[in-house]
Structure 1
């Protein structure tokens, strides 16, 4: 292996790793006003937020609000890999 291969493989491994505390991923729709922007995204949530769309929304909405987004809907809850 060349000297550049090992750091590249380490970077790929770090990028592919999910947070250890994530128990599920949710697909969501959000908006930002002035000017209007719509977003469809995926977020990792802890196990306590995976039981229902309402629980996922309660956990995700404050995180999105900190970034200036308003949660519109939880589209689906996906099991973590």
Structure 2
């Protein structure tokens, strides 16, 4: 499942308001700062903090490896929004 570039460009973590990484093969938007994963169900991001999963260190490393290997960019550049 893919998300449109327009949608991805405006998605932010509802908790810390920072960028996310969309890992399509996992159907998840990931916030490495909070080690929190938001599901994407039927093409719809579920951006509810209460429904997010906090991942352990091993899962964080696995997700970060996927992000690095695939060159996944964050949903937006936080530095340019200052």
TM range (shorter): under 0.3
TM-score, normalisation: structure 2: 0.25
Query: Hey, which of these two has a bigger chunk of strand by percent?
Result: 1
Specify the structure having the higher radius of gyration (Cα): 1
